[in-house]
Structure 1
Amino acid sequence: MPVKNTHYPGLNIQKIMIIGRPGSGKSTFAVWFSNIPAFHLDKYFFEKNWVERNYQEFLSSQKEMIYNPSWIIDGNSTKSYEMRYRHADLCLYFNFPRWLCYWRVFKRLFYKHRDIDDRAPNCPERVRWSLLKYMWNFEDRVNPILQQLQSKYPDVQLIELCSDLKVNQFIKHILKDKIT
């Protein structure tokens, strides 16, 4: 289990990596920060009709992203976690309950927020068995990687948010810091 920073002392963030299960709210959160460019990895990983892009092209596009002066990158390509993590000021881990993420993924089949442009063109929402399995095993796959990254890059703040309430508290903290 990653170490949780629940107090958010002295956040000075320009580069934010957001990870979490599909349906945890990563893209919604990324769009909220309209003053920081948001990059949704699914837009770069897939071409139209859910065809996977050449992986080297995908990595190349991420390298371009991380050298921007500020960014929010949301997505779960574990192979490139380290590349993004080491350049981030902050990693937000949206570790929401499985049931809630499953609910939201199915809900997206019928309702998609129009302000969130997180997919490649012609990639309609769909739910496949492979996605559900991926969601189920997410923590087992990701937590050991995060523990290693935390040890290797201690200057990167890792904050685990496990509910909408915690996300809202985090947002209020950021707003308070900007106002004071």
Structure 2
Amino acid sequence: MVIGSSGSGKSTISRKLAKRYRLPLVHLDHHFWQPGWVQPSDEQWRRQVGDLIAEEHWLHDGNYSNTMALRLQRADLVVFLDMSRSRCVWRVLVRYMLGRQDIPGCGDRIQWRFLRYIWQFPRRSRPRVLDRLTAFDGEVVRLRRPREVQRFLAELDK
């Protein structure tokens, strides 16, 4: 399971880990967002995540704090990309400028509200994530810089 703020590099490292370990990669954004940026109801989302974690092997990419506890129950490893807010905002802005189109029916968009969420992630979301990870029985890898991500991936290849 790979978690972190938007723009932290979750999708990039998830693709590499899924390829390395031959795991089915589940980008939660692709399952959450419906065409036109429509959100499912909480009940629909919990049911969908329940179906996704029922699989024997998986690698999930995404936060979604309202279903994190469900996913942690079935995870054995969590990679927490705890990158700086400025790096995350920069990456999201670059992704927007490059026109990333990876969620079907949802054209790339950027809103101040989204940038504010990223900027406030360290203060608002990180403490809750860390609390959940403290209670997690599996292995947690917390990476704070791109250099640490590179070292982590290099170690896996040894």
Same fold (TM over 0.5): yes
Partners of 1:30 and 1:112 in 2: how far apart? Answer: 20
**2:139 corresponds to 1:122:** no
Counterpart amino acid of 1:125? Answer: D
Q: Secondary structure at the match of 1:52?
A: coil
RMSD: 1.7
**2:74 corresponds to 1:87:** yes
**Contact kept in structure 2, 1:44 and 1:53, CA below 8 Å:** no
CA drift of 1:172 comes to 1.3
**2:10 corresponds to 1:23:** no
Partners of 1:146 and 1:46 in 2: how far apart? Answer: 22
**2:127 corresponds to 1:157:** no
1:40 aligns to what?
27
1:135 aligns to what?
118
Partners of 2:130 and 2:96 in 1: how far apart? Answer: 34
Identity among equivalent pairs (%): 30
**Contact kept in structure 2, 1:45 and 1:58, CA below 8 Å:** yes
CA drift of 1:140 comes to 2.3
**2:89 corresponds to 1:108:** no
2:157 aligns to what?
175
More helix by share: 2
Per the normalisation by structure 2, the TM-score is: 0.89
| Structure 2 CA distance for partners of 1:103 and 1:144, relative to 1, 3 Å | closer
Counterpart amino acid of 1:122? Answer: G
Partners of 1:59 and 1:90 in 2: how far apart? Answer: 21
Per the normalisation by structure 1, the TM-score is: 0.79
